[in-house]
Structure 1
Amino acid sequence: MKKNLSEIFPDRRREYESEPTLRQAQLIILRILKIVDYICRKHNISYWLESGTLLGAVRHGGFIPWDDDIDIGMTREDYNRFLSIAKDELPDDLFVENLDTTEYAGNTWTQIKDRKSKIVIWGQENQHPGLYIDIFPYDSYSSNPFRRVFIEKLYKLLYINVYAINAPLKKPYFKGKNAVINAIKLLLKMVFFVFAIFNKDVIYKLNLKTRDKRIKRMDKNPKINYGYGTDVLNWDKVFKAEKIFPLKTMKFEDGEFLVPNDVDYVLRVFFGDDYMQLPPESKRVYHNKMIKTILPEEEVRKINKGFYYNKGEIDL
């Protein structure tokens, strides 16, 4: 099957060399999305475009022009099903990276990475460097506010608050808007000093110790509220099930992909009511420090060395 997918979705990166580097990267990860979409449809697995990728589909008909990744969501059940087959069905030039496939994953969600490219992300130097798409698990959250906040979201909310409180002050410290922002940050540090003494890495490790139990409990919840997995600490969004399901299709670049049922509502939750307006140019930034879309064979071998499937080195 791997050979067939390589034939259906051939690697055409050398045909893109005349394009700007960012556009080359977008076309490489668009191929990854098409392959994931193919596998999901074959096995009746649901997914949907989300976050900036969904915004790009609506506002630009494809990628946000300065975006360098793709985000999709899946219910936890479909996420687990996808992961159970992905390593066997993906072409050899793609790699499933998560905490079960490599100790260097860093994230608690899954990334499908291209083995023959390199993108350097701030703070992710130890991970596999290939261009990627993000796949986020969505859990079913309880309607009981106490249970949701103090059990299902506990580590998530701790992590977000610790990250915010410990964020460095902006320079120059006492000029213009920075003076107001920094004053608020200092006030928050004093009021919520207990968060300031925490370390987000400690919370990350504590989250991993209990995540399986939390996920198992949450699986018993009525399927009426879906949000980023209890183990996905960076974001806290929850949607009514009817805002996501039944899924629809929408054009993204030259393909049709699955999107939430109420796209407008979902985008308002993510980005606010003015999501169709372009941000100021100063906010049109991408994640990476550097992108290389075509690598010599020696570098391909080098970047894949040390990453493992089931404790066996990846075959190149």
Structure 2
Amino acid sequence: MRKLTTDEIKKYELNILLDIQSFCVKNSIKFYLCGGTLLGAIRHHGFIPWDDDIDICMPRPEYIKFLQTYQSANGYIAKSNFLKNWDAPCAKVVDPSTLVDSQISENETGLWVDIFPVDGLPSDIDEVSAIYKKCNFYRKLYWNGHAISGTGRTRFHRYIKYLLKPLLNLYGLQRISNQIEAIAQKHPYENADYVGIVTWGLYGIGERMKKQEFECETKGVFEGHEFPIFSCWDSYLHGLYNDYMKLPPKEKRKTHSMNAYVKL
């Protein structure tokens, strides 16, 4: 195996994204750039310089359609809780010719593009907040179940994992993921006036968008290619990052702490 440089990692991930876009265009499946990838498209017209992954999202009905039909011309593989070949409440498309050795998680994989389902949300903001708090609780359990024992920012975090991991694995990470999915789908996308990434919605109520604006598509440039973005990208990025055009301090410019290799 040969270790990949950061630039090579980004090139591999961009190729996965282009493969996904090609399939979605041919099969009339909607997707949008989101999260840090959308921020990168708006602020840098490509990857955030210190970032090393790609995030996209799909309305829940499109997400299911994609997972049921996706076939790659380049050998990429879709993984998800829905397909029963991954235990997270979201999906990813993986390049099996690569291997990622994460320094913080036992969940090894090839280089990937994350795909997050967008679900319906209620109009009442307090209900929205409660949904995200519940999902956040279960997500923390899920992360601890996959974390490498003895790792963490503090001594407490490093040693508590020795106790938590066996209990969480006994309970079942798939079961935790199913609970997150159930919470996220309580308000069907088709009937909702508001939507958001819920299963992996790290920013709480800041994730919420008006469905009418979310479904209105425009274009953004990412690494020299045009990709679809939702029309409410400005309010969405404010909800996630506040003053998103301002660069964060250097100590907050974090990557996924991974080493990636290509199989020879």
What's the TM-score once normalised by structure 2's chain length? 0.78
Which ranges of structure 2 fall in alignment gaps of 5 or more residues?
143-150, 157-166
Cα distance, 1:142–1:126 mapped onto 2, change above 3 Å:
same
Residue 60 (structure 1) aligns with: 44
CA contact (8 A) 1:156 1:235 kept: no
Question: Alpha carbons of 1:125 and 1:112: their partners in 2 closer, same or farther (altered >3 Å)?
Answer: same
After TM superposition, give the deviation of residue 91 of structure 1 in Å.
Answer: 2.6
2:99 aligned with 1:118, yes or no? yes
For residues 104-183 of structure 1, what are the structure 2 equivalents within 5 Å? 105-127=86-108, 129-144=109-124, 148=128, 152-153=131-132, 155-159=134-138
Letter in structure 2 aligned against 1:135: I
Match of 2:235 in 1: 265
Deviation digits for residues 197-243 of structure 1 (CA, Å, limit 9, x no counterpart): xx8776965544555655664227633111113x4375532222244
Cα 1:240–1:95 change in 2 (3 A) is same
Equivalent positions of 1:248-259 (< 5 A) are 248-259=218-229
Distance change (3 Å), C-alpha of 1:242 and 1:106: same
Query: What CA RMSD, in Å, does the superposition of the two structures yield over aligned residues?
Result: 3.4
Are residues 1:232 and 2:200 paired?
yes
% identical aligned pairs: 26
Instruction: Tell me how far apart the structure 1 counterparts of residues 65 and 84 of structure 2 sit (CA, whole Å).
Output: 19
Per the alignment, residue 10 of structure 2 pairs with 26
Q: Which runs of 5+ in 1 are unaligned?
A: 1-13, 174-198, 297-316
Using a 3 Å threshold, how does the CA distance of structure 1 residues 145 and 251 change in structure 2: closer, same or farther?
A: closer
TM-score by length of 1: 0.66
8 Å Cα contact 2:81-2:177 kept in structure 1: no
Farther-moved stretch of structure 1 (38-47 vs 202-211): 202-211
Secondary structure in structure 2 of the residue aligned to 1:287: coil
C-alpha displacement at 1:117, in angstroms? Answer: 1.4
Alignment deviations for residues 37-58 of structure 1 (CA, whole Å, 9 cap, x no partner): 1111112111111110011101
- 1:41 lines up with 2:25 in the alignment: yes
What are the Cα deviations for residues 22-49 of structure 1, in whole angstroms up to 9, with x where unaligned?
A: 1111111111111111111112111111
Partner-residue secondary structure (3-state), 1:218: coil
How many pairs are equivalent? 244
2:79 to 94, 97, 108: 97
Partner of residue 288 from structure 1, selected from 251, 257, 264 = 257
Structure 1 residue 93, shift from structure 2 partner: 2.4
Q: What corresponds to 2:146 in structure 1?
A: none
TM-fit CA distance, 1:144:
4.2
